[in-house]
Chains A and B, each alone.
Chain A
Amino acid sequence: MTTAMLELLLEPLSEPFFVRALVAVALGGVTCACLGAYVVLRRMAFVSTALTHSILPGVVGALLLGFSPYLGALAAALLTAGGAAWLASRKGSSEDSAIGVMLSVMFAAGVALMQQANSWRDFAGLLFGSVVAVGAEDLAVIAATAAGVLFGLRALHKELELASFDEEYASLLGARPALMRMVLLALVALGAVSCVRLVGALLTTALFVIPAATGVLLGRTVPQVMAWGVGCALAGGVSGLYLSYHLPAVPSGAGIVLCCALPYLLARLFAPRR
């Protein structure tokens, strides 16, 4: 019995692509869970959805023009963040609707560009993730982004915490909450770009929101929320990969997101009320 289970766990590890996928999911999961803590606590889930969806036109455009898809994705995500901020700063337009406009415009542009490229099949991995196809180069990009994002979060921890909790006091002390918000959006864009290979443009929001939402149910401080979120993302990511390896009917991206939702459900049901 135990040997059979051990076999289930060890057998995939002999495949190099599976090991690469595991490392990618671990790095991406840690990055997204830590960033996600602020996304959830500041109620920025909608803007993170907009950023992750807007990666689509960036990647397709980059492929059409022939430069790095990562650069294209980052440019598109930053364009969305900047555009939403600019639209929301005009009178008579709420931030909510500004983000809605940018999200649908960018996604529609992506669909139009995909038609230009004449092949929907090639972009299925972009929309739904293809972590098993991650190569050494992708792994390097994911690792570098993870290092950059985590360093940024560590260096600006107290400023981000203060600006997220009490915006007025932050500006009284001169900690510039508006600047902090922009830094956070840029970090989310960076994280989204690196994680789009794992679960796809349509599901990357899940990596930001679900582990961190679990963390919020269990943690009493921001570092605790991040730690619980990282645990949830790692557990969900690794079990999702195994699930899709042994059940080929489940695509890896969907498997990861579904397995991340399980700890959230458990925390929701059994976490002590605070």
Chain B
Amino acid sequence: MSRFWTRFTRQLGDAVFALLPTLPYARPEKPVCAGDAVFARGLTAGARTDGPAAFRDADFSIPCGCRTALIGPNGSGKSTLLRVLAGLVPPQSGEVRVAGFAPALGRSRVAYLAQRPQLTEGFPLIVRRLVQMGTYAHHGWFEECRHGDEAVDQALARLGLTELADRPVHALSGGQLQRALLARAFVQGAEVLLLDEPYAALDAASREIIERFLFEQGHAFTVMMATHDPADLARFDRVLEIRAGAVTTRHACAGHDHRHA
């Protein structure tokens, strides 16, 4: 009986979804990165569209697979730049492309990890389900998650969360939560990872797991990470600095093809 209902609701959901092909949700995107993963010309943006600009006329580009550190003093606009690239804040002027397209919501190839994720406190959710949320990008409206279990297991293992999979999310420490959110971005299939100071308030163990994930598997991702740690810069291929409203590139790196292309 319950199997009948599961099948029935699934099929009804699929039928309804088939009627709504234009919804900007879960568009399948082919993972092909060629040339520049991030490209900006004359980019001016502020934390709010109608507020003051944090930086003006920024020109930079980041080749596919390149790991970029984003540095600058507090309040210089690092978070704003990452939010513009993620599509959460529209630019005030200028041209910007991420993975070949103008930043927009509803894109599974771009993942963004906020400095302080605004999660509803005390929400009943286990870690596995949190990571599974990444697969929502590959499901349509009305569909329940039914594929992607392997990817979830793999992501949990790579970020050292397998034993915590059944823990409630609100019982996680800051570092464990950061790892779970990164696992979610991985499950999402994102190629461009925009990370806003992911190491803030992390213990050494969590930081090492995250670093291994980001830096020790070829150039599977294009990473752009805001950071304050000068000792860390050697790990990156390229450094972007925001200072006094200007964005300058300090290193350059050659492009890499994405390994899972």
Contacts and interface: CB of A to CB of B under 8 A. Distances in A.
B26 A174 contact: yes
Nearest to A37: B124
Nearest to A219: B124
Interface in A19-77: 41-42
B13 A167 contact: no
Contacts of A224: 124
Given A164-B123, A168-B118, A158 B88 contact: no
B161 interface: no
B72 interface: no
B87 A172 contact: yes
Interface stretch (B104-112, B212-220, B251-259): B104-112
Given A155-B142, A171-B105, A41 B24 contact: no
Given A158-B136, A172-B105, A173-B136, A165 B171 contact: no
Interface string B168-195: 1011000000000000100010000000
B124 A162 contact: no
Contacts of B117: 166, 168-169
B42 to A, nearest CB: 25
A166 B118 contact: yes
B158 interface: no
Contact of A174 (B24, B88, B130): B24
Contacts of B168: 220, 274
B208 interface: no
B124 A225 contact: yes
Interface string A238-274: 0000000000000000000000000000000000001
Interface in A135-172: 154-159, 161-162, 164-169, 171-172
B86 A172 contact: yes
Interface residues of A, number: 30
Contact of B139 (A41, A158, A172): A158
Given A173-B136, A174-B25, A168 B144 contact: no
B167 to A, nearest CB: 9
A155 B119 contact: no
Where chain A touches its partner, the secondary structure class is helix
Contacts of A168: 88, 114, 117-118
Contacts of A156: 141-142
A46 B12 CA distance: 34
A169 B171 contact: no
A159 B26 CA distance: 12
B9 interface: yes
Contacts of B107: 174
A127 interface: no
Contacts of B86: 172
Nearest to B143: A158
A175 B23 CA distance: 10
A169 B123 CA distance: 15
Given A42-B120, A164-B120, A172 B112 contact: yes
Interface string A207-234: 0000000001001111011000000000
Interface of A: 41-42, 154-159, 161-162, 164-169, 171-176, 216, 219-222, 224-225, 274
25 contacts: A41-B123, A156-B142, A157-B144, A159-B136, A159-B141, A162-B136, A164-B120, A166-B117, A166-B119, A167-B118, A172-B86, A172-B110, A172-B111, A172-B112, A173-B137, A173-B188, A174-B24, A174-B105, A175-B25, A175-B136, A216-B124, A221-B124, A221-B125, A221-B129, A274-B168
List the 5 shortest-distance A-B pairs measured between CB atoms, nearest first: A174-B106, A174-B25, A155-B142, A165-B123, A174-B24
Given A174-B106, A221-B126, 20 more contacts: A154-B9, A155-B13, A158-B143, A158-B144, A162-B133, A164-B120, A166-B119, A167-B118, A169-B117, A172-B86, A172-B105, A172-B106, A172-B111, A173-B105, A174-B26, A175-B136, A176-B25, A220-B124, A221-B124, A224-B124
